[in-house]
Amino acid sequence: MSKQLRELQARKTTLVKEARGLTDLAASESRDLTDDEVTAFDALRARIDAASAAIDREAALIADEARIGVDHVIGPIVTDNREADPRRGFGSVGEFMQAVYQADKPGQSIDARLLLGGIGAAAPSNYGNEAVGQDGGFLVPPQFSQEIFRLSLGEDSLLPLTDNVEISGNSMAFPKDETTPWGTNGIRAYWQGEAASGTPTKPVLGLATLRLKKLMALVPTTDELLDDANALTSYLPEKVAVSIRWKANESILFGAG
């Protein structure tokens, strides 16, 4: 992604945040937008549309340049190696957390590293949802998310002992067999003598329908802790992983699947 395209996306994200702030303020006061707020909102919408059009133009130019294989008029096309970096240019998970925190402060510019890959969204808030991209938050860089997940698979984790089934949606129905090798029903094994006929057994199957849910750890932190990237890096990932590991074990032992 070119630097100009990232700047355009960051500009659009800032404008969307400002427009959302107007509607949230009116909603918090249980009222409609005032005339001045409507005027300001319409102006922001016009600037958002203009930014969207500029993004489309820049993306089209980048695609055309890639197809014809020529250099940009001002020199060779420069790519940002941070997009290929599993850390997305961040030195530590604490530094990433600080950037996300700063992105939600009024008047603060968004760290360009948070926009790598086109994830032009605002920091999570109380109106976050799947329907609006700007409400979705920032993706955790691949290496950091893998480290947290790896920490959650400690020696006392039961998750590696379970069967893993990949699905393409957010729910599935599958047969279940709750018999055990030492029980009295289900598939059984028997010692057979020579010329003796085998004893047939069959599984006892039921049907389970499960809908996926996210396992989430939301951790409010103090300003002092947010100012210390090293403390965030050493403290939060381990504590989050321990909680994830315990909750997953509890669901495996006592949950419905």
Per-residue pLDDT of the chain (257 residues; tens, 9 = 90+): 567 777 888 888 888 888 888 888 888 888 888 888 889 989 988 998 888 888 888 887 877 777 676 544 555 556 656 667 777 778 887 788 778 777 777 776 777 777 765 544 444 444 444 444 345 567 777 787 777 777 777 777 888 788 777 777 778 777 788 788 888 888 889 898 888 888 888 888 888 888 888 888 877 777 777 777 777 777 777 888 888 888 888 988 888 75
pLDDT of residue 202: 87
pLDDT of residue 77: 57
Residue 235 CB partners (closer than 8 Å, separation 6+): 225
User: Contact 126/102 with Cβ under 8 angstroms?
Assistant: no
Helix (H) or strand (E) holding 99: helix 93-103
From 115, 119, 114, select the one nearest 96 (Cα to Cα): 114
Residue spans of the domains in the chain: they are 1-79, 82-124+137-180+204-257
Q: Which burial class, exposed, middle or buried, applies to 12 when counting CB atoms under 10 A from its CB (0-12, 13-18, 19+)?
A: buried
pLDDT of residue 133: 39
Dist. CA 131–CA 146, nearest whole Å: 26
pLDDT of residue 79: 60
What's the DSSP call for residue 214? -
pLDDT of residue 76: 57
Token couple for 70: 């020529």
Please compute, for residue 37, the number of CA atoms within 13 A of its CA located in the half-sphere on the CB side.
Answer: 14
Chain centre distance of CA 149: 13
pLDDT of residue 134: 44
What's the DSSP call for residue 72? B
pLDDT of residue 81: 67
